[in-house]
Amino acid sequence: MDYLQALQKRYSVKKFDPAKKVSPEVLRNILEAGKLSASSLGLQPYKIFVVESDEMLKNLVPSFHNPSQISTCSHLIVIVSKKNIEASYVDGYFRHISEIREIPVENLGMFRKNIDNYTETNENVHLWAEKQTYIVLGNLMFAAALEQVDSCPMEGFIKEKIEKTLSIDIQKESVAVTLALGYRSPDDDFQKMKKVRKPDEKLFKFI
């Protein structure tokens, strides 16, 4: 499908068809797009929970202000951001670079210094990490649209309830945003509405 056609067809689904599930192969493609997202300094300061069991989805329903999407979706993506960038986390990152690119860790000293300077002096590193999750979110939504899978990004949740249900270490991580995946229900009336966006002259400014 042409990517503009896919984006035109995409909308934030309010009710999914619970009988239709995203196949493992298609889900893997969507997740791979999230994995390949741009990330500041390459640190990927987040984790992606993929909720697919009916039991866990049911357990998460009370965490959302509008339960319609959670109670009918095929999968729920929960993106969790780091609150701090620990030295041990950066150590692991550089070991991984060394292994993938087949270069000694010692050759990465300048890059490591730049990262340490940023993470150790940034008092709002948790906000920086949270912003990174929205880049992932955009890629997941775009990939889903191309795979003809419907989605709905959601911030209307009780963060503490999700964190408790998913056993997240709240000293280190925090739920940033969620994304429901599945296939639109025939009786979701929102799919019949025309997409409303700013006209070009109000959105773009060429200078």
In CATH terms, the fold of domain 3-162 is NADH Oxidase (3.40.109)
Show the tokens assigned to 61: 């329903």
- Res 106 pLDDT > 70: yes
Show the tokens assigned to 70: 């959670």
pLDDT, tens only, 180-199: 999 999 999 999 999 999 99
CA 129 to chain centre: 12
| Alpha-carbon span 42 to 85, nearest angstrom | 13
Strand-pair category, 46-51 with 150-154: unpaired
What lies within 8 Å, CB to CB, of 82 at 6+ separation is 45, 46, 89, 126, 129, 172, 173
Strand partners, 15: none
pLDDT, tens only, 38-64: 999 999 999 999 999 999 999 999 999
| Burial of residue 24, with CB atoms counted within 10 A of its CB: 0-12 exposed, 13-18 middle, 19 or more buried | exposed
Mean pLDDT of 28-40: 98
Q: What is the DSSP string of 3-56?
A: HHHHHHH--B-SSB-TT----HHHHHHHHHHHHTS--GGG---EEEEEE--HHH
User: Is residue 105 very low, low, confident or very high in pLDDT (cuts 50, 70, 90)?
Assistant: very high
User: Is residue 138 very low, low, confident or very high in pLDDT (cuts 50, 70, 90)?
Assistant: very high
- Res 1 pLDDT > 80: no
CB atoms < 10 A from the CB of 205, how many? 6
16 and 73 in contact (C-beta within 8 Å)? yes
The model carries a pTM of 0.95
| Alpha-carbon span 118 to 121, nearest angstrom | 6
* Amino acid at position 5, single letter: Q
